[in-house]
Amino acid sequence: MSSPRWQEMHQALTAAGLIVQKSAENRIENLQSVVPLIEAANSSGVRLLNANSVEELLAITSHESEVQSDSVKPNSQTTLPKSENEGPIGRVIAPLQRPHLTPPRPRKPSGFSSEDFPLEASEVDSDIEIHFDITGKSSTEGRISDMQSCFRSRLSQIRDMMLSKGVLPRRPLANSDAWRNRRRHNSKDYEITIVGLASDVKWTRTGSLRFIVEDESSQIMCILKPPNDASPLHASLDGLMDDEIVGVSGWFLTGERDPIFFSRDIHKPPLGNHSKAQAGEEYAVSAAFLSDVHLGSKTFLAPQWAKMIDWFKNDPLARTVKYFVLSGDGVDGVGIYPGQERHLNIKDLFNQYGELARMLEEVPDWVDVVMLPGNHDAVRPAEPQPALDPEVQQDYSNTVFVGNPCDFSLHGVRVLSYHGKSIDDFVATLRSVTYSKPEMAMQAMLERRHLAPSWGGKTPLSPEPEDRLVIPEIPDIFVTGHVHGHFVGDHKGTLMVHSSTWQDQTDFQRMLGFQPKPCILTVVNLHTYASEAIHFA
């Protein structure tokens, strides 16, 4: 049980935005006041107080009082010692100028707490469990029968979820049975429900949505009018993705020459409020998320990468980072789009991967890298994509290579990492999704329990006999990249992270008026889910 005095001190430190580790408790409790410590931490940019950093900060405060008592350099700055040309250690990454000594000011509370980091990441063993990765398991031969099997598998998996979680108002009929009995099911009193893949989705001139629902037995043409109280995310206003699985309740309008199914309601797969698993308190480490490094491109931001490496080596918060998840497009690749060569400063693919390996070597060795491919990487573009080739992997250490997408756990925390190519299809189809709001596409994926539903769109898909782009388990953390934005937020209990890029605005993005959000490292505590977005640009 901690003393009231310690509780008061702890409260003051926390209010100032500082994270206090247990190892610092005794030393701090013996101080007369925490104010000089807060001043020194603020001026040095330090956020995490452990036994070492407290000693260093106290050395500063005593040095400062000596300096002031001698009436020398009253305006001198006081920060933790650092080598030449380096910025202050801590949260302020850029600009590189030394900060001025300022009175303590409250910082935005981050949610990190002293109890969350009993150990440094280097003291905790790795705990990575892979649940799904296509590497070495792709079994498609690219035949029509594989594609049929893939769609059947999707329908069966998602329909089973709908049935088991009771999201449908009644047991669905097979399309062929519904059609055979269409004259009976011709009014509100004889409403039925069908489930299938949506396709051929179009808006009519009167603002209704027309689409086909197809199951194993047949296709039925449906029409959906927006209800008066429809939210902008209702299918009738937002749209439907081709080949997503929907449940539809309604009846047949048989008076028409071609009977059509009047859809009173649309049912999505189940997505309740998810309760996140937590890494055990004793394994309270962090995972850092980044994507789209695009090494080899002329727009790769090398000076900012150096700042991040400096942060990894010097910031106490970095000592809590056990995992560094890179969600695809690690290199810019070669021949990805016409004329790419003029945008490359490393024109050889193996040299790009070699240089990325060299740069990742600079990340402290207590950090395990988890690396997925993306659409710029040297693997098949069709998703699910396998991990990078073993010939490429041999240059890397401390790196786990996985496919895209990959479903894995870190200390029991379930992470679904997907590069995010299908965001292009969601932007092209749903009214709620734009490139500046990739989180809306991520939300739409979770709501559909599928990462990339549309066949024949912008996302190349591999017709695996079992559709592994279905989201069978709701992840604790869902992470994507690809569109070079940044987002951290919760959706129905899942922490969604849209990882930032390390590539500056490209000519193509400038032409489209798209402003990327580069050089932001997202760090998530796997015990508390508190997160930090650290800006290096």
Which residues in this chain contact Fe ion in the complex, by CB under 5 A? 292, 329, 374-375, 482
What is the closest distance, in whole angstroms, from the C-beta atom of residue 473 to Fe ion in the complex?
Answer: 25
What is the closest distance, in whole angstroms, from the C-beta atom of residue 181 to Fe ion in the complex?
Answer: 48
Q: Is 360 helix (H, G, I), strand (E, B) or coil?
A: helix
CB nearer to Fe ion: give 315 or 329: 329
Tell me the H-state helices in 16-83: 25-29, 35-44, 51-69
CA torsion angle for 62, 63, 67, 68 (degrees, to 10)?
-30
Residue/partner pairs of 343-351 with CB below 8 Å, 24 or more apart: 343/297, 343/298, 343/299, 343/506, 343/507, 344/296, 344/297, 344/298, 345/296, 345/297, 345/298, 345/300, 346/295, 346/296, 347/296, 349/296, 349/378, 350/392, 351/296
Closest to 270 measured CA to CA, from 469, 447, 21, 495: 447
CB nearer to Fe ion: give 292 or 310: 292
* Pairwise CA distance, residues 37 & 42, whole Å: 9
What is the closest distance, in whole angstroms, from the C-beta atom of residue 374 to Fe ion in the complex?
Answer: 4
CB nearer to Fe ion: give 316 or 374: 374
CB nearer to Fe ion: give 127 or 383: 383
> Across the strands, what pairs with 263?
224, 250
What is the closest distance, in whole angstroms, from the C-beta atom of residue 383 to Fe ion in the complex?
Answer: 12
What is the closest distance, in whole angstroms, from the C-beta atom of residue 138 to Fe ion in the complex?
Answer: 20
What is the closest distance, in whole angstroms, from the C-beta atom of residue 309 to Fe ion in the complex?
Answer: 21
CB nearer to Fe ion: give 237 or 423: 423
CB nearer to Fe ion: give 110 or 500: 500
CB nearer to Fe ion: give 80 or 497: 497
What is the closest distance, in whole angstroms, from the C-beta atom of residue 480 to Fe ion in the complex?
Answer: 10
CB nearer to Fe ion: give 91 or 421: 421
Q: Is 306 helix (H, G, I), strand (E, B) or coil?
A: helix
Closest to 377 measured CA to CA, from 281, 479, 293: 293
* Pairwise CA distance, residues 293 & 329, whole Å: 6
* Pairwise CA distance, residues 435 & 516, whole Å: 10
- Is 188 exposed, middle or buried, given 0-12, 13-18 or 19+ CB atoms closer than 10 A? exposed
What is the closest distance, in whole angstroms, from the C-beta atom of residue 257 to Fe ion in the complex?
Answer: 47
